[in-house]
Amino acid sequence: MNKNIYFASDFHLGSPGFAESRKREDRIVRWLNAIQPDCAELFLMGDVFDFWFEYRTVVPKGFIRLQGKLAAMADAGIKIWFFKGNHDMWVNDYFSREMGMEIVSDELVIERSGKKFFLHHGDGLGPGDRKYKILRKIFRNPLCQWLFSMVPPVIGMGIANRWSKSSKAASRAEEVFGGIEKEWLAVYAKERLKSAHYDYFIFGHRHLPLEIDLGSGSKYVNTGEWLKYNSYAVFDGTNLRLEYFEKGQ
């Protein structure tokens, strides 16, 4: 392996509004331009959009610069993986048809350069949050998705925009690390290690960049988010590390 693999999540484009999202989109495109020369694969780990729903012939407008850049990277031979997050779980086949992206609904286990990776957006895993886990099953139910698709886009997108304004990304709530015993994704990872070894667990969703040694040669990495941190993970074939784009600018 002579190129890097990149992981990023939680762009939340659309939140809290157009102007801020537009600046964030420009920053993300600058990052993609910077990494493209040494990028072999790009894993978008969920919540790229603060809301996304694909009608049969209609998709949400906006963020064309990001989509154009991703299309150019795909055309250049870079493999792109798109994980469904809790905000863009209704991605269907638009990106796979237009850009050849691989859409991932839940977890994905891969091996690269002899290292085993467990990848997931992170929503619905670990202990607690029972209410959301029930809602997740409802929202991902094909019948529920079909029923929502019967709602005219002008109404459906209006509902989505109101919901988006009350999201965690819009609230700008400060995320803090309360110790590994309270870090539910690390707890989940440690449980998974009881049945199989993984060198790296990579998640998004948490909105807090984290690197935690799980012992036994395993590490939990959270890619953070792009509203505040501009954080991402990169694997160079030997090591996985967190990095920050335009930090302090």
Higher per-residue confidence, 16 vs 160? 16
Give the residue from 16, 46, 27 showing the smallest Cα distance to 172.
16
When pLDDT is averaged across residues 57-66 and rounded to a whole number, the result is 88
pLDDT for res 167? 59
Q: What whole-number distance in Å separates Cα of residue 174 and Cα of residue 21?
A: 19
DSSP run (H or E) holding 200: strand 200-203
pLDDT tens by residue, 155-190 = 777 766 666 665 555 456 677 777 788 899 999 999
Give the residue from 14, 9, 100, 26 showing the smallest Cα distance to 66.
26
Question: Where is average pLDDT lowest: 54-68, 101-115, 139-153, 205-219?
Answer: 139-153
**Terminal Cα-to-Cα distance of the chain (whole angstroms):** 32
Please, which pLDDT band fits residue 45 given cuts at 50, 70 and 90? very high
